[in-house]
């Protein structure tokens, strides 16, 4: 039962990723307008019903999965690389370099992350690429702090001291002797970061700062359906439940990964 609870979120995420990757090869028509099916409830012809323009909700939901998948992975990849680099340099260099970078991190932490992302998205303009850059500019801070704390606890180990004594350069020590030991908590943090990025993208799209019509996004689908909650609640329930399931499964998968990578739990 415990194994089922561990692998079920992973299987759900793999299905989400498969749908997102295979979306362009599926026979979907997310922008097909059917005036006779405006606000049609779920039925045989349209399993999830139609929206306010008569477009099939299932097709738009599957296309929106690709948007969320792209933003989630893009934001986490950029944030992870930038944050790990900044945190690793700060911890390994020490001195005024460490102090300067830590103060820069503190400045970013002083701003509310959501408001800063909204401001950056507004300055950069709508679009999926700008959403990824805006969220990555906010999300790298957590990875930087985590990488710095991990490397600070690792850089005094014997193999690191020996490598530096033998003349290993700054980059070689960081790449071969420190990052492989610090990568486990960073990967766990990245899984939770995917869930946060998916939620943030939906929020920006809900505010009109994400992907633009007619491109589908779960956040914009919820925004379009809010005005029809009393007559067509499926317009909000379908993308809302999809968003809930992806974020919940991502967090559960992150918890399971954290337990598997924890040395104490492995020993037990």
What SS3 string covers 176-189? HHHHHHHHHHHHHH
pLDDT > 80? residue 174: no
Contact 144, 86 (CB under 8 A): yes
Which residue, 9, 3, 2, is CA-closest to 191?
Answer: 9
pLDDT of 1: 43
Give CA–CA dist 166/142, Å, rounded.
Answer: 33
Q: All domains of the chain, ordered by start, with CATH?
A: 57-267 (1.10.3720.10)
Q: Calculate Rg over the CA atoms of the chain.
A: 22
**Cα–Cα distance, 184 to 257 (Å, whole number):** 9
Q: How confident is the model at residue 263 (pLDDT cuts 50, 70, 90)?
A: low
Res 75: pLDDT: 94
* Mean pLDDT along residues 56-84: 91
- pLDDT tens digits, residue range 141-156? 999 999 888 888 877 7
- Mean pLDDT on 210-215: 83
How many degrees, rounded to 5, is the angle at CA 172 between CA 168 and CA 177? Answer: 95
Residue found under tokens 């759900």: 12
Lowest mean pLDDT among 46-50, 52-56, 175-179, 180-184: 175-179
Compute the average pLDDT of residues 34-59.
Answer: 87
Q: State percent of the chain over pLDDT 70.
A: 94
Asked if 145 contacts 82 with a C-beta cutoff of 8 angstroms, the reply is: no
Question: What is the Cα–Cα distance from 263 to 19, expressed in whole angstroms?
Answer: 34
* Total residues belonging to the chain: 268
Q: Which two tokens stand for residue 75?
A: 């934001």
Residues whose CB is less than 8 angstroms from the CB of residue 106 and which lie 6 or more positions away in sequence, other chains included: none
DSSP track, 135-179? HHHHHHHHHHHHHHHHHHHHTTSHHHHHHHHTT--HHHIIIIIIH
With contact defined as beta carbons under 8 Å apart, do 17 and 3 qualify? no
Degrees, nearest 5: CA angle 214-220-222: 130
CA atoms within 13 A on the CB side of 30: 19
* Residue 91's pLDDT band (cuts 50, 70, 90): confident
Over the stretch 218-249, which tens digit does the pLDDT of each residue have? 999 999 999 898 888 999 999 999 999 999 98
CB 204 within 8 A of CB 132: no
Dihedral (Cα; 169, 190, 209, 67), 10-degree rounding: 110
pTM across the whole model: 0.86
Looking at residues 113-120, what average pLDDT do you find? 82
Cis peptide before 226 (omega within 30 of 0): no
């Amino acid at each position: 039962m415990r194994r089922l609870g561990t692998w079920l979120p992973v299987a759900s995420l793999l299905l989400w990723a498969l749908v997102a990757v295979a979306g362009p090869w599926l026979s979907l028509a997310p922008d097909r307008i059917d005036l006779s099916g405006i606000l049609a409830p779920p039925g045989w012809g349209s399993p999830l019903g139609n929206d306010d323009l008569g477009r099939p909700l299932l097709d738009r939901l599957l296309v929106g999965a690709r948007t969320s998948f792209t933003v989630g992975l893009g934001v986490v990849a950029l944030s992870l690389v930038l944050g790990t680099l900044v945190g690793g340099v700060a911890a390994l260099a020490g001195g005024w370099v460490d102090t300067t970078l830590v103060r820069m991190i503190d400045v970013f932490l002083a701003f509310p992350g959501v408001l800063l992302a909204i401001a950056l998205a507004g300055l950069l303009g709508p679009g999926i690429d700008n959403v990824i850059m805006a969220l990555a500019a906010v999300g790298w801070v957590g990875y930087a702090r985590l990488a710095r704390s991990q490397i600070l606890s690792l850089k005094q180990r014997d193999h690191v001291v020996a490598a530096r004594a033998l003349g290993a350069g700054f980059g070689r020590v960081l790449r071969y002797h420190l990052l492989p030991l610090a990568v486990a908590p960073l990967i766990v943090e990245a899984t939770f970061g995917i869930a946060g990025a998916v939620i943030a993208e939906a929020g920006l799209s809900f505010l009109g700062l994400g992907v633009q019509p007619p491109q589908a996004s779960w956040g914009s689908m919820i925004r379009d359906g809010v005005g029809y909650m009393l007559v067509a609640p499926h317009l909000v329930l379908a993308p809302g439940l999809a968003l809930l399931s992806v974020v919940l499964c991502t967090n559960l998968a992150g918890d399971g990964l954290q337990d598997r990578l924890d040395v104490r739990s492995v020993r037990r």
